[in-house]
Amino acid sequence: MIFRLWQNQLPDSVELCAIRLPGRGASVHEPHFTRMESLIPVVAETILPACDKPFAFFGHSMGAMVAFEMARHLRREKGLEPVQLFVSGRRAPHLPDTDQRTYELPDAKFIEELRRIKGTPDEVLSNPELMQMIIPTIRADFEVCHTYQWIPEKPLSCGIVAYGGLGDEEEDKKKIEAWREVTTGPFSVRMFPGDHFFIHTSEALLLRALAKDLYQIVSGLN
């Protein structure tokens, strides 16, 4: 999990808590979530003990949607809200998803799609045994995204920082900027070199921006 490696690049006053969904690592044999509405309450209960102090959420792609819905769930059910929401590589949640439901494709075409979006290394895509292990997890993630249903609620009050890739053709700057409409708090956009997976190719730039944003938040709390 790449996020665990970020701790040393963040302010000392920030504790990083990475969330691992079922189907990964030590949880590889647990059933996958395929719907956002079933995923959110379970994850919320898991992280609730860590929400006894000011907290922020960061999520990339599907993770951005999870972070957003987690923020709404905790506000609705527990009266809690993050001090900041960082969303990365994902259009605003109220925008329609016009993408093909790729999670329904046969394995061969599904692998072709993974190769097209360049999110999986070629050496992994070319390894049949490894792909047999990870395809169910990737399909489940795609299904969560493609079956997501936007339900209007009042905007969040926390600030939102939205990150995007300058070369991301599907999640372009206009779609990233639309996150402005789901908060009454401060909002800003930061765009980085790279496509949808700028989180890897521009990791150093992203972490510097994230560290700066977090430092400003922590300083404002003191």
Q: What residues contact 10, with CB distance under 8 A and at least 6 apart?
A: 16, 207, 210, 211, 214
Q: What residues contact 179, with CB distance under 8 A and at least 6 apart?
A: 87, 92, 160, 162, 187, 189
Beta carbons of 84 and 54 less than 8 angstroms apart: no
Half-sphere exposure of 201 (CA within 13 A, CB side): 17
- Decide if 188 is catalytic: no
Q: Would you call 69 exposed, middle or buried from its count of C-beta atoms within 10 A (0-12, 13-18, 19+)?
A: buried
Beta carbons of 196 and 119 less than 8 angstroms apart: yes
| Helix-then-strand count for the chain, H and E | 8, 4
Residue 46 to residue 200: CA distance in whole angstroms: 27
Phi first, then psi: what are they for 187, rounded to 5°?
A: -140, 140
Q: Which residue among 13, 27, 61, 157 is the active-site one? A: 61
Catalytic residues: 61
